[in-house]
Amino acid sequence: MTDDNPLFRGGIKPINLGLETFHRALKDQGVDAVHVDWRPPSAALALLAQLDNAAIDAANQDCVRKVIDSMPVLVDIRRASEAVPGMEKNVILHAGPPVTWERMCGPVRGAVMGALIYEGLAKTPEDAAVLAASGKIRFDSCHHHSTVGPMAGVVSHSMYVFDVLNDGFGNHGFCTLNEGLGKVLRFGAFGPDVIKRLRWMEEVLAPGLKKAVLSSGGINVRNLTAQALQMGDECHNRNVAATNLLIKELTPHLLATDLDKSTIADIFKFMAGNVHFYLNLSMAACKAATDTMLGAKGTTLVCTMARNGTEIGIRLAAMPDRWFTAPSGMPVGLFFPGFTQADANPDLGDSTVSEVAGIGGFAMASAPAIVQFVGGHPEDAVRYTREMFEICAARHSHYKMPTLDFAGTPVGVDVRKVVETGITPIINTGIAHREPGVGQVGAGLLNAPMSMFEEALKALAAV
Amino acid sequence: MTDDNPLFRGGIKPINLGLETFHRALKDQGVDAVHVDWRPPSAALALLAQLDNAAIDAANQDCVRKVIDSMPVLVDIRRASEAVPGMEKNVILHAGPPVTWERMCGPVRGAVMGALIYEGLAKTPEDAAVLAASGKIRFDSCHHHSTVGPMAGVVSHSMYVFDVLNDGFGNHGFCTLNEGLGKVLRFGAFGPDVIKRLRWMEEVLAPGLKKAVLSSGGINVRNLTAQALQMGDECHNRNVAATNLLIKELTPHLLATDLDKSTIADIFKFMAGNVHFYLNLSMAACKAATDTMLGAKGTTLVCTMARNGTEIGIRLAAMPDRWFTAPSGMPVGLFFPGFTQADANPDLGDSTVSEVAGIGGFAMASAPAIVQFVGGHPEDAVRYTREMFEICAARHSHYKMPTLDFAGTPVGVDVRKVVETGITPIINTGIAHREPGVGQVGAGLLNAPMSMFEEALKALAAV
């Protein structure tokens, strides 16, 4: 090995295989190293050979086609007690897989306490915590009730929900109305301002919008999402354009109601003042679309992915009664002034129904400006979408991305492909404070953990 | 030359230099040819050596900085007769450089005839044409009156205009309110529906919006444009997001006026039903910003670029009293059903004030979805913006493009760079039917002709 060896004339660089943290440590010390994104193949990989992959491919195509063909329409805004199946007075729904009060994370506990106060079942946060722990409250996953909820995802029986009909399929998806950012119930806050806002939403916002929605004869949510994807939104963490489009649809109908101008102005300003107002409607639509997969035999597609802040869980279209779970990961992102990564609660919320339906993180190529909210660079946004093509069964026919020459978004996560490629779904998410009562502290990104997908594949191979 | 010569092992391909039509002819015959985008250097190139380029660079930076620092604010909606300087009863303003009735193209003639009917100066299109030719009507370029107009750009004294104040500079820019697409005055239509709509705009829309604007205390147009560039608009031929943002700003103020709900609903629906409603406001803002360049000594920047459908003209910041003109080019694009390229009028309108101000075609990288309206592929949109960087003095500090990692848009066309690179400004534009009375038939793209820039450079070198 001499200086004359042409191999070494350009200087020697270390190559780092696998863990990126080692690469970052080298870079921090000024070493110019090459990183290779490599992972040891999954132990579950061998199971793939045991499957009838041709039959599965065909079944997956039928299954994902139903998601793509879904036509979610906002048909009403109703009280959860009337709309949501099994919504008794003592029932509290939450995001993610089922979890007991004892194992609930801070922000979900905070939201439960707030909901019990809001429902008049408790007077103080302390009373609420005692009641929640008493066994008198029945907790259940939103997903078991055709419902989804962002972050804590807490739904109690007096709250109003968007009622989205999947036209042509007949199933419904439900989600509460978005409260705004910062100190809000879904991020675990429960102070007097939070309860007051929920009360106004129940008494003014929801009944007013209900009139507008009924007068509209139904608002096509798929159409709004498709437009918003041409306007820099991915409809999970960026809903700027979609919210404006929804407002544009609703306002003429609001003006046609018997509401007075000042009430209409209050409702308008509430929607216009929250760039995420569309999110909850989109989630209800995604729930209605992805629930068409429930019970699709012979498939390997994920029909649900959701987090309760303690665990993340997936359900398979082929065995929807079973949750495959793993500890919730930790999103890395950008924090509001005064907060840091140390304040962050682990990954939380049903909003990953967006990714399961082919938008959100999967459609980030359409939303380069989102990196200002969740971190990273615009080219990362495109890379995430390209990676998701690797693990999905199809491209969406209605959701197109201009930056990728109008390619359809990746849709239909196939656990076989996840295990084969080592790529798990990208999630972009809000970040709650880990303590009850605080609220949102930032937004960021993470990948779902691999182990759930390996467990799911094992279960499929065992059938 | 044998088969063994390694140069020829990959097969021989023709290389086409210059005219792309020759390359296309080869491709049409199945020949795999390489095209080199080459032009003979301009004869005016030698003039560059005669200039004090360092002093010009400094003067250009000062000049373009004023455009960038401009803060256009919508402060009022007023009658042209009250707001626009020199707007007598017998004055008709039009887009582009000055042009006589005899030389006016079809759509400008049509719009003039419509305006004369609208003003009650003529009863029929035939009467209007006679009056227009009589010498009793004084025609002038909008640009001479702090005003711009899309397409025909016809402004008559009863019409209302957006009054945009350039806050901090004190100058104003004016533009009429956008009528919508299809059969409208600015595309040369003048039928009873056109006049009826103009009347409604005068009697209901403009006075209503005026109240809202006054109640708002001023709407920051620069802010709206900056947001829209993050949402897939380039604010010339795509104004989808910007229109919604404007509606969002105006509606709470509309609701605070004494107007009844049904009038507010009519105004709301008119704005919401026209994805280009924002265009005219944006143009007034661009006019206010680019007029800060007027009279900037020692510069080589273009302060005006506009077309009257017969000629396209530019004015230089350093000599704003002189138009350098060339025949209007022919946009190539997409046509509405039933129309073809043969129906197209040559390039028309003041809307190129957008490009002069650093948006429109120059910001196309922000608006990949626009290719569905003007033709081409999303990668072309990015290429156009990159090319414009080559001929501009600066990047805009407020107008950022997410797809280019939040780079500022190119702004400040430097005639030296145009001549040096052989690249002329890209324009994306609506296309009018060539006959009066028809209206819009499509939208497309073209580059401004080189000869105007060569003439302008000669004039600068002669000073």
Report pLDDT digits (tens) over A395-433.
999 999 999 999 999 999 999 999 999 999 999 899 999
Residue B214 in any domain: the answer is yes
Q: Please give the pLDDT value at position A10.
A: 67
A240-255 and A277-290 are packed helices; what angle lies between their axes, rounded to 10 degrees?
Answer: 100
- Of the three residues A229, A260, A287, the one that is the final residue of a domain is A287
Binned at pLDDT 50, 70 and 90, residue B245 comes out as: very high
A247 touches chain B (CB under 8 A): yes
Q: What are phi and psi of B154, to 5 degrees?
A: -75, 130
For the domain that residue A425 is a member of, what is the CATH number? 3.90.1700.10
Residue B50 sits in the same domain as residue B158 = no
- Of the three residues B231, B254, B287, the one that is the final residue of a domain is B287
C-alpha B344/C-alpha B309 separation (Å) is 10
Q: Do A261 and B262 touch (CB under 8 A)?
A: no
C-alpha B224/C-alpha B275 separation (Å) is 15
A180 touches chain B (CB under 8 A): no
Residue B260 sits in the same domain as residue B298 = no
Residue A1 in any domain: the answer is no
Which residues of chain A make contact with B403, given a CB cutoff of 8 A?
368, 378, 403
Residue B1 has pLDDT above 50, yes or no: no
Distances (CA, A) of A364 to A361, A385, B275: 5, 6, 25
Residues 6+ apart with CB under 8 A from B322: B315, B316, B459
Residue B135 sits in the same domain as residue B56 = no
Q: Please give the pLDDT value at position B7.
A: 66
Residue B347 sits in the same domain as residue B447 = yes
A406 touches chain B (CB under 8 A): yes
Residue B1 in any domain: the answer is no
Residue B239 sits in the same domain as residue B332 = no
B240-255 and B206-216 are packed helices; what angle lies between their axes, rounded to 10 degrees?
Answer: 80
C-alpha B49/C-alpha B53 separation (Å) is 8
B248 touches chain A (CB under 8 A): yes
Q: Extract the tokens encoding A227.
A: 């437009």
For B239, name the nearest residue in chain A, comparing CA atoms only.
A231
Rounded mean pLDDT, A428-443: 90
In total, chain B counts a number of residues equal to: 463
Residue B108 sits in the same domain as residue B239 = yes
C-alpha A209/C-alpha A178 separation (Å) is 13
Strands A138-141 and A91-94: parallel
CA atoms within 13 A on the CB side of B172: 17
Query: DSSP 3-state assignment of B400?
Result: strand
Report yes or no: A444 and A374 within 8 Å, Cβ to Cβ.
yes
* Spacing of C-alpha A170 from chain mean position: 23
Residue A396 in any domain: the answer is yes
Residue A3 has pLDDT above 70, yes or no: no
Nearest to B368 among A233, A369, A403 (CB): A403
- What are the pLDDT digits (tens) for A259-315? 999 999 999 999 999 999 999 999 999 999 999 999 999 999 999 999 999 999 999
Structurally, how many domains does chain B consist of? Answer: 3
Which residues of chain A make contact with B268, given a CB cutoff of 8 A?
251-252, 255
C-alpha B284/C-alpha B71 separation (Å) is 12
Residue B332 sits in the same domain as residue B256 = no
Q: How close is the nearest chain B Cα to the Cα of A186, in Å?
A: 26
* DSSP string covering A189-218: --SHHHHHHHHHIIIIIHHHHHHHHHHHT-
Q: Do B255 and A272 touch (CB under 8 A)?
A: no
Contacts 24+ apart (CB under 8 A), B320-328: B320/B293, B320/B294, B320/B295, B322/B459, B323/B97, B323/B98, B324/B452, B324/B453, B324/B455, B324/B456, B324/B459, B325/B97, B325/B452, B326/B449, B326/B451, B326/B452, B327/B449, B328/B105
Residue B300 in any domain: the answer is yes
For B244, name the nearest residue in chain A, comparing CA atoms only.
A244
Q: Note which residues in 113-142 of chain B have CB less than 8 A from chain A.
A: none
Burial of B344 (0-12, 13-18, 19+ CB in 10 A): buried
Residue A422 in any domain: the answer is yes
Picking from B260, B261, B271, B370 by the largest number of A CB atoms within 10 A of its own CB, the best residue to mutate is B261
Residue A22 has pLDDT above 50, yes or no: yes
C-alpha B397/C-alpha A382 separation (Å) is 25
Residue A319 has pLDDT above 90, yes or no: yes
Residue B3 has pLDDT above 70, yes or no: no
Q: Note which residues in 328-357 of chain B have CB less than 8 A from chain A.
A: none
B28 touches chain A (CB under 8 A): no
Residue A147 has pLDDT above 90, yes or no: yes
Distances (CA, A) of A433 to A182, A185, A351, A391: 10, 12, 17, 31
A273 touches chain B (CB under 8 A): no
C-alpha B245/C-alpha B225 separation (Å) is 9
Distances (CA, A) of B367 to B230, B231, B377, B379, B406: 9, 8, 11, 11, 13
What share of chain A has pLDDT > 70, as a percent?
98
CB atoms within 10 A of CB A49: 8
Report yes or no: A80 and A160 within 8 Å, Cβ to Cβ.
yes
| Least confident among A90-99, A205-214, A428-437, B124-133 | A428-437
A252 touches chain B (CB under 8 A): yes
Q: Please give the pLDDT value at position B32.
A: 85
Q: What are phi and psi of B441, to 5 degrees?
A: -120, -10
The partner residues of A402 in beta bridges, in order of sequence, read: none
Nearest CA to B178 among B208, B158, B196, B198? B198
Report yes or no: B279 and B440 within 8 Å, Cβ to Cβ.
no
Q: Please give the pLDDT value at position B28.
A: 83
Residue B381 in any domain: the answer is yes
Burial of A62 (0-12, 13-18, 19+ CB in 10 A): exposed
Rounded mean pLDDT, B240-260: 98
C-alpha B283/C-alpha B276 separation (Å) is 11
Picking from A251, A268, A271 by the largest number of B CB atoms within 10 A of its own CB, the best residue to mutate is A251
Residue A50 sits in the same domain as residue A77 = no
Residue B10 has pLDDT above 80, yes or no: no
Report yes or no: B67 and B412 within 8 Å, Cβ to Cβ.
yes
C-alpha A97/C-alpha B107 separation (Å) is 64
DSSP strand E in A337-417: where? 348-349, 392-401, 407-413
Residue A299 sits in the same domain as residue A418 = yes
Residue A416 in any domain: the answer is yes
For B376, name the nearest residue in chain A, comparing CA atoms only.
A405
Residue B52 has pLDDT above 60, yes or no: yes
Q: Do A264 and B261 touch (CB under 8 A)?
A: yes
C-alpha A366/C-alpha A232 separation (Å) is 5
Residue B214 sits in the same domain as residue B177 = yes
Residue A265 sits in the same domain as residue A298 = no
CA atoms within 13 A on the CB side of A350: 39
Q: Extract the tokens encoding A248.
A: 């544009």
Can you give the residue range of the structural domain that contains A19? 6-36
Nearest CA to B189 among B106, B259, B132, B272? B106
Query: DSSP 3-state assignment of A97?
Result: coil
Q: Do B405 and A248 touch (CB under 8 A)?
A: no
For the domain that residue B254 is a member of, what is the CATH number? 3.90.1710.10
Tracing tokens 């407002």 back to the chain, one arrives at A247
Strands B219-220 and B72-79: antiparallel
Residue A31 sits in the same domain as residue A102 = no
A256 touches chain B (CB under 8 A): yes
- What are the pLDDT digits (tens) for A184-233? 999 999 999 999 999 999 999 999 999 999 999 999 999 999 999 999 99
- What are the pLDDT digits (tens) for A324-356? 999 999 999 899 999 999 999 999 999 999 999
* Spacing of C-alpha A439 from chain mean position: 17
| Local structure of residue A350 (DSSP, 8 states) | S
Nearest CA to B266 among A306, A435, A252? A252
Nearest CA to B145 among B70, B206, B92? B92
Report yes or no: A59 and A298 within 8 Å, Cβ to Cβ.
yes
